[in-house]
Chains A and B, each alone.
Chain A
Amino acid sequence: MQEKRLRYENLVNAYNSWLYRYAYWLCGEKATSEDLVQETYLRAWRFLDSLKDEKAAKSWLTTILRRENARRFERKQLAYSEIELDSLPSEREDFDTRPEVLALRNALRLLPKKYREPLVLQVLEGFSLEEIANIFDLPRNTVATRLHRARQKLRKHLNGEEQLVQVNELP
């Protein structure tokens, strides 16, 4: 039991910041992000014995958090119209406030989720293509295509060549 608790504490200390940021870009709300992190770790504690390789811990926790987010929508039965798109990162005090970064933050908010999610994993936490492919259960080439398009869309949006538009999405 003591050994399990030590493992658990190490996981919390090592990855809670990453999980919070990822949750924030999934749901766009501080309070919900905290809840998602808490629920993720509660589930991780219950199934900690199934984590055999510590090197896989970050991917394992990320996968749990994605599922918790999906369950959140299932529990609440959120409809398209109930998703508060404007709530996606809007708390300016949390951000670098340089104009180019603010413009990017807005562009990221408009970027379709299927492009934004792998980009968050790669840029913010350095996940490899293979790790992202495993988390999303997608072929590696599909992930590569999405990352390519994500950067291309952001670049064109910032250069005024192509405007990203708001779309309602399910989780």
Chain B
Amino acid sequence: MKRIIKSIFLFVITATLVVSCAPTEKKGSKSNKGALAGNAAEKVYVAPGEHDSHYAFISGGFSGQLAVYGLPSGRLFRVIPVFSQDPEKGYGYSEETKPMLMTSHGFVPWGDSHHPDISQTKGSVDGRWVFINENNTPRIARISLKTFETEEIIEIPNSAGNHSSSFVTENSEYVVAGTRFSVPFPQKDMPISEMKGNFSGALSFLKIDPEHGHMNIEFQIKMPGFSYDLSHPGRGKSHGWFFFSTYNTEEANSLLEVNASQNDKDFIAAINWKKIEEYVKNGGGKKMPTNYAHNTWDDDTHTATTEWKKEVLVVDPKEVPGAFYFLPTAKSPHGCDVDPTGEYIIGNGKLAAQMTIHSFSKMQKAIADKAFDGDAYGIPILKFDAVNYGILPNPGLGPLHTEFDTRGNAYTTFFISSEVVKWNVKDLKVLDRHKVYYSVGHLMIPGGNSQTPDDKYLVAMNKITKDRYLPTGPEVCQSAQLFDISGEKMELLLDFPTIGEPHYAAGIAADKIKALQPTKIFKLADNKHPYAVKNEAETKVVRKGNEVHISMTMIRSHFSPDNIEGVKVGDKVFFHVTNLEQDYDVPHGISMIGANTSELLIMPGRTTTFTWEPKEVGVWPFYCTDFCSALHQEMQGYVRVSPKGSNVPISFTLDGDVPGEEE
């Protein structure tokens, strides 16, 4: 009896809970309906054949790549391979692209891409290049927005966990790299427990060549061994400065989740790079031996090469007085963001329930007044009250990153409370908040890291999606959420899935990139690849010892030559394949049965190479892998492989004739 009463009681309680929960559930689901609420569907609808108004370059995180989306539709156009091999495109597999992934540790097939940033001219994004950092094996890549291909990857020596990177100054003078995992500088064998005071965090300034975009490590600053998490350039009045957020100022080397979270305040490091530039120009800094890879792609030879750099110029902060200051900032700040005017420097104290807003003008005065609160490893710590503009109290939990509109508002992500909060920077007042689903990391407003943000859209990038999409087993997608921020209230318009982890993004008006006329084809006449063949008559097969070099062409819808004999087991066969097409959107692919590599996908006018080491005698087919025409299925050929030591001579034909020698 007692049991029955107990269970009835339980039932009543449960029912009450369900009933009382129901209305809130409904309320919640209404607000997260996005496109069904109001006219959101219309706002994201891009009719078939129409173009989106903005590009969004969203980092692929642990995929190592960079994804290109359209806004407002959220459609994925392209995944640009950057730090990871991509068999779909042959990137990192073809002989020409392998050098792109070369590092001082050898060939690294994978990377962790984090923070894309678009090049700028006069404080506005200009759509020439996207820079993106690799966290694991510290590197920065430059992607051309003419070809949407990775053109350059430079390794960062003396660094580890290249996280506070790859942000660009307002005239693309520099792109920066930082260190999240401080390490011995230079590396050496020493006890881990002796970290404190003995490790360093390198901050690297890479000069960007204004014409071609080539990067060069101009100088590297040997900072105290904190964790440099994120950074942003000063702009407008604060142009010439760079700001880096820090955590683990405790310099803990183990159980960082506790030991790096003891100080109530960490720092934002303010660095006057113009002063350092001058110091370096006058012979300052010390050249240190090192070894790192600088990989560049050449669109004339369609080939990447690795250059080994053996030296880096190191700057000791103590040697450049007036160029380094620490700004005390609430607990373990993640994002370190500068508003469009350059006046406000915002620390997103991820373990604090407040946002710290510093003032650049106050900082200037504090420096003039020498309002110091001691120093850390010789770098003056500015008095908190002397630099602080104000505090935004209790805006949410776990602030991570802030971007801005042109109306004086800031938009901050809160990871723990899973929301985006809009607030006015001057008034320090929260204006609006919106839930995101779930656990938002960073957000992006097109032109967000510039003086001229485009106020229309905001993209929130979420780490967790749980039930937001159809289930796909234990691993579900991460996602982006698009908001309309043109009105007073933020309006959720759209959810769309992303590749890998969308750490960060950069956006730009599509017209800016269209105006620069993205490449459609590579001109055959300009192809300077050593194995390029410009017409079928030039195609050939040449034996050099046990190497067989096939100079082959592809055009709708055949290869030339397509019958090859005289290859032997134990040979190394190089397929140097030129796409003779000169028409937009007519790539051809090629793959060989049993080749221990990926296919090649070759754009019109380009030459690309893969290798094949046949292990068995026989007649082996190769074929075109990209549907090119009505005769795509017929686009194939054969290679005859004879036994080792066979005397079958090299021969190559197309339709029974040696190409170019018609009957």
Q: Do A and B come from one complex?
A: no
Residues of A within 8 A of B (CB): none
Q: Which residues on B are within 8 Å of A, measured CB to CB?
A: none
